[in-house]
Amino acid sequence: MTTTTSPGVTRRGRAAAAPPAIDPRPRWQPALVILLVWFVVWLFTRGHDTLVLLGRDKTSVMNALNDFRDHMLAGRDTNPLMRITGALADAFRSMVTWLQRLISIPAEPRPVPRIGWLGVTAVATWLGYALANWRIALLTLGTFVSFGLFGYWSDSMDLLIIVGVSVLICVVIGLPLGILAGTKKRANGVIEPVLDLLQTMPTFVYLLPIVLFFGIGAASAVVATMLYAVPPLIRIAAHGIRSVPATMIEVADSLGQTRWQRLRTVQLPIAKRTIIVGLNQTTMAALSMATIASFVDGPGLGKPVLAGLRINDVGTALIPGLLIVAIAIMLDRGTTAASERADVIARGGGLKPPVHRALLVGGGLAAVAALWLSTQKFWAAEFTDRGIGRRIANVADHAVDSVTSSISPFTGSIKDGITYGLLNPLQSFIAESPWWLAFLAIAALAFVLGGWKSFVPALACLAGIRFFGEWHNAMITLAMTLVATLLCMAIAVVVGVAMARSPRTDLAVRPFLDAGQTIPAFVYLVPVLALFGPSRFTGIIAALAYAAPVAIKLVADGVKGVSATTMEAARSTGASRLQQIRKVQLPMARASLVLATNQGLLFVLAMAVIAGMVGAGALGYDVVLGTTRSEEWGKGAAAGITIVLLGILLDRIARRAAEPAPKETQWLSLPRGRR
């Protein structure tokens, strides 16, 4: 079918007819020249104008930010914005409290929640069976029982409540926005950059302004979780609606549909599966953010994890951490199975054998009986803590202790090698350059690598970083980010290629990647801290643990996407395994590699704040400082903004430098065709 052809496309089409022009000067040559000039000037100017800002020093911009915060706080009862957010905060808080009193905390004057563990577990299990299948029911049963068994019933319920409320709000807000973005190009033009920003922004940076407007506790937890979790839903819903086949839209039009009819009868039903994928992604994102929200007193399993970090006890942090993973698995498998099941039922496959029906009814009655019991009897209301969790925690703690102490000489030499060999020289090069030198050099690099389209945003970001007064820290963070990304990609290529070439490796590695993406970052901070001490390297390891799973998956899927025919052709020429990887698979998976690098960069940067908490200093430290000390709020905000600017800067340069790779997001990280 003929569609509108824009002049640009045809011009490119014509150019393609001529033999492809060979770029006479590869882009890396001028880049190398710039680096060389930078180095030479650095030799003579090193240490001057580096804009070092001591711990408690503040620039006037930071003070202005502080004043702004004070102004907002002072106007808590008069400022209309503050009153709206205050009212919203109250609404969220009372919603969460009501649910907590229902299943998690004592509903005064009752000494226990209104529904006890037995009731909640029975109902959840029954729902698992009714909406999905018996496997999901067993999974649910196991997960809920382990909440109580390990002594984290209340925290687990709290986490589920925060996730549930946030996801509900995500749906209410995100679905209409997704539809809007999917159907209206102009709306998409507005929504897309906002989502970009939300997804580039490290999670901790959210917390600063949110606490200002919504106070500490459940309300902030809900808002932060919602903000973090809603982009995938909007994006994927829009994507789903956009990818409804054109024929279907034509059919609808040819039958004389109105827009609303088209949306209701064609676009939404066809995009339903995709939207459910989005909902699933949103739920997973909500789970991870709800955990982090414990930093602002958000209820949930994040709290015991944090407590474990505070007393440096791996065991204490590990069990709630694993429970979070269990919840993730349960929600992921559960929603997927339920949507598949709903499809089957919708397609008339819902006719159930009598056994199933009997189980459904019997189970339902049993669930209700359990529910009733749990409102009446203490044993069914409160899970008696048998100290199992504590015992396992102690074992885990000892195990980790002995492992860390036995391998610490070895890991210490890795740390020293990378710190002295890579990190320190790079940091001294970038951060000890005068600010104007680094500024010019980075802008010039942006230009030669990505042209005007990356030069202009790069210039704006650099100017912003300079303006907010965190230049030196930004450069230190930049150095760390680069080193971490380099390591991340090295790991991603090695593991990713291995996974792509051997299904067995893939099968073995993938669960760990899934867990690595779900388990809250500060769980593994404890052993890492024990191994490497408070240092930038610890921060880098934390960032790696967070970023590597995503990058590995992208590389593996990209390499796997190289067609079997191409590989056959390569083998037929007698290429060795290494040649196959180097000459065929990696170049053909280039788009995935670029995407992985880009994602790696952003993920590593997102961990800058966590890194700041384990001795890596720089921007991350100032953000933490800002969240914890009121007089440093402005400094923290400036550092937070600087992290975001740094993210945009790196993203733009990497993205343009890798043209013609199309831009994609982590949420749509499907294996893509090559151009």
Partner 1 sequence: MQVTQNRPIGALAALAAIALGATACGGGDISKAEQSNASASSAAAANNKCGTINMAVNPWVSYEASAYVVGEIAKSKLGCTVNYKELKEDVSWQGFGTGEVDVVIEDWGHPDLEKKFMKDKGGDGSAEDGGPNGNKGIIHWYVPPWLAAAHPDILDYQNLNKYAADFKTSESGGQGQFLGSDPSYVQFDEAIIKNLDLNFKVVFSGGEAASLEAFKKAEANKEWLIGYFWEPQYLFADVPLKAVKLPPYTDGCQDDPAKVACDYPDTVLEKIFSTKWAAKTDDAGVAFVKKFQWSNEDQNTVAKYIAVDKMDPAAAAKKWIDANPDKVKAWLG
Partner 2 sequence: MTTPADSSALQVRGLWKIFGPKAERLIGTPDAALSRAELQRKSGHVIGVRDVSFDVAPGEVFVVMGLSGSGKSTLVRLLTRLIEPTAGTVVLDGQELTAMDDAALRQVRRDKISMVFQHFGLLPHRKVIDNVAFGLEIRGDNKTNRRARAQNMINLVGLSGYEQNFPDQLSGGMQQRVGLARALAGDPAVLMFDEPFSALDPLIRRDMQKEVIRLHDEVGKTMVFITHDLDEALKLGDRILIMRDGEIVQIGQPDEIIGAPADDYVRDFVADVNKAHVLTLRWVMRPPSSDLEGVGAPTLNQSTIVRTAARTVLAHQGVVRVVDDAGSFVGVVDDEDILRVVVAEQDHE
**CB of 539 closer than 8 Å to CB of 610:** yes
Q: How far is CA 132 from CA 331, 332, 334, in A?
A: 12, 12, 7
Nearer CB in complex with partner 2: 163/271: 271
Give which of partner 2, partner 1, none residue 60 binds (C-beta under 5 to 8 Å, depending on kind).
Answer: none
Contact between 656 and 451 under an 8 Å Cβ cutoff? The reply is yes
List binders of partner 1 among 11-70 (CB under 8 A).
54-57, 70
653 binds, among partner 2, partner 1, none (CB under 5 to 8 A by kind): none
As measured in angstroms, the least distance from the Cβ of 311 to partner 1 is 5
Binding-site partner at residue 675 among partner 1, partner 2, none, CB < 5 to 8 Å by type? none
Q: Using the rule CB under 8 A, is 71 a contact of partner 1?
A: no
Nearer to partner 2, 11 or 71 (CB): 11
The yes or no reply on residue 348 touching partner 2 (CB under 8 A) is: yes
Give pairs for 307-313: CB < 8 Å, separation 24+. Answer: 308/523, 308/526, 309/522, 309/525, 309/526, 312/526, 312/529, 312/530, 313/393, 313/397, 313/526
Residue 368, interface with partner 1 (CB under 8 A)? Answer: yes
Candidate list 95, 268, 271, 367; residue touching partner 1; CB under 8 A: 367
**601 binding partner (options partner 2, partner 1, none; Cβ < 5 to 8 Å by kind):** none
Q: Which of residues 11-40 bind partner 2 (CB under 8 A)?
A: 11, 14
Closest CA to 113 of 500, 375, 332: 375
Residues 263-292 that bind partner 2 (CB under 8 A): 265-266, 269-270, 272
CA distance 499 to 54: 46
CA distance 662 to 664: 6
Q: With binding defined as CB under 8 A, does residue 354 bind partner 1?
A: no
Alpha helices in 243-353 (DSSP H): 246-254, 259-262, 268-292, 302-310, 314-344
Contacts of 555 (CB under 8 A, 6+ apart): 492, 493, 495, 496, 497, 500, 589, 592, 593, 596
State which residue, 272 or 590, has the beta carbon closest to partner 2.
272
Of the listed pieces 249-257, 306-314, 424-432, 490-498, which binds partner 2 according to CB under 8 A? 249-257
Q: Which residues 197-236 are close enough to bind partner 1 by CB under 8 A? A: 211, 215-217
CB of 243 to partner 2, least distance (A): 13
Residue 35 interacting partner from partner 2, partner 1, none (CB closer than 5 to 8 Å by kind): none
Quote the least distance from Cβ 316 to partner 1, whole Å.
7
Dihedral sign, Cα of residue 51, residue 56, residue 60, residue 63: positive
Kindly state whether residue 7 participates in binding partner 2, applying the rule CB under 8 A. yes
Counting contacts by CB under 8 A, is residue 612 touching partner 1?
yes
- Which of 40, 190, 251, 407 touches partner 2 (CB under 8 A)? 251
Contact window for partner 2 (CB under 8 A) among 74-82, 252-260, 449-457, 468-476: 252-260
**Cα gap 561→592, rounded to integer Å:** 9
* Contact with partner 2 (CB under 8 A) among 60, 78, 247, 565: 247
Residue 618: C-alpha distances to residues 54, 55, 472, 606, 614 (Å): 10, 10, 8, 13, 11
- Residues 398-437 touching partner 1, rule: CB under 8 A, are 415-416, 419-420, 424, 428
Among 70, 250, 416, 631, binds partner 2 (CB under 8 A): 250
CA distance 234 to 445: 34
Task: Draw the binding track, 442-471, toward partner 1 (x: CB under 8 A; -: no contact).
Answer: ------------------------------
52 binds partner 2 (CB under 8 A): no
Count the residues in the chain: 675
Asked if 2 is part of the footprint of partner 2 (rule: CB under 8 A), the reply reads yes
194 binds, among partner 2, partner 1, none (CB under 5 to 8 A by kind): none
* Residue with smaller CB distance to partner 2, 348 or 660: 348
In the complex, the smallest distance separating the C-beta of residue 294 from partner 1, rounded to whole angstroms, is 8
| Residue 342 touching partner 2 (CB under 8 A) | no
Closer of 303 and 553 to partner 1 (Cβ) = 303
Question: What is the three-class DSSP state of 349?
Answer: helix
Residues 659, 664, 669, CA angle at the centre, nearest 5°?
Answer: 125
Cβ nearer to partner 2, comparing 348 with 574: 348
Distance CA 196, CA 611 (A): 23
Using alpha carbons, select from 598, 586, 575 the residue that is nearest to residue 494: 586
350 lies in the binding site for partner 2 (CB under 8 A): no
**Partner whose footprint covers residue 406, from partner 2, partner 1, none (CB < 5 to 8 Å by kind):** none
Angle of helix 633-657 relative to helix 452-467, nearest 10 degrees, comes to: 170
Regarding 5 and contact with partner 2 (CB under 8 A), the answer is yes
Binding of residue 1 to partner 2 (CB under 8 A): yes
Nearer to partner 1, 295 or 435 (CB): 295
Phi-psi map region of 291: left, alpha, beta (phi>0 left; psi -120 to 50 alpha): alpha
| Integer CA distances (angstroms), 594 to 388, 461, 651, in order | 46, 22, 11
Q: How many residues bind partner 2 (CB under 8 A)?
A: 31
Closer residue to partner 2, CB minimum distance, 3 or 406? 3
351 binds, among partner 2, partner 1, none (CB under 5 to 8 A by kind): none
Which is nearer to partner 2, 310 or 352 (by Cβ)?
352
Site residues for partner 1, 86-145, by CB under 8 A, read 108-112, 114-115, 119, 123, 126-127, 130-131
Q: Alpha carbon of 126 to those of 88, 141, 208, 481, 585: distances in Å?
A: 34, 9, 41, 47, 47
| Angle ∠(165,547,32) on CA atoms, nearest 5 | 135
243 binds partner 2 (CB under 8 A): no
Q: According to the binding rule CB under 8 A, does residue 258 interact with partner 2?
A: yes
Burial of 41 (0-12, 13-18, 19+ CB in 10 A): middle
- Cis peptide leading into 425, omega within 30 of 0? no
Indicate whether 353 belongs to the interface with partner 1 (CB under 8 A).
no
Minimum CB distance to partner 1 smaller for 375 or for 566 = 375
Binding-site partner at residue 425 among partner 2, partner 1, none, CB < 5 to 8 Å by type: none
Question: Do 33 and 606 meet the contact criterion of CB atoms below 8 Å apart?
Answer: no
Check residue 303 for interaction with partner 1 (CB under 8 A): yes
Question: Is residue 492 within 8 Å of residue 600, measured between CB atoms?
Answer: yes
Q: Do 533 and 616 meet the contact criterion of CB atoms below 8 Å apart?
A: no
Pick one of partner 2, partner 1, none as the site partner of residue 211 (Cβ within 5 to 8 A by kind): partner 1
Distance CA 117, CA 383 (A): 7
Note the residues at the interface with partner 2 (CB under 8 A): 1-7, 10-11, 14, 245, 247-248, 250-258, 261, 265-266, 269-270, 272, 346-348
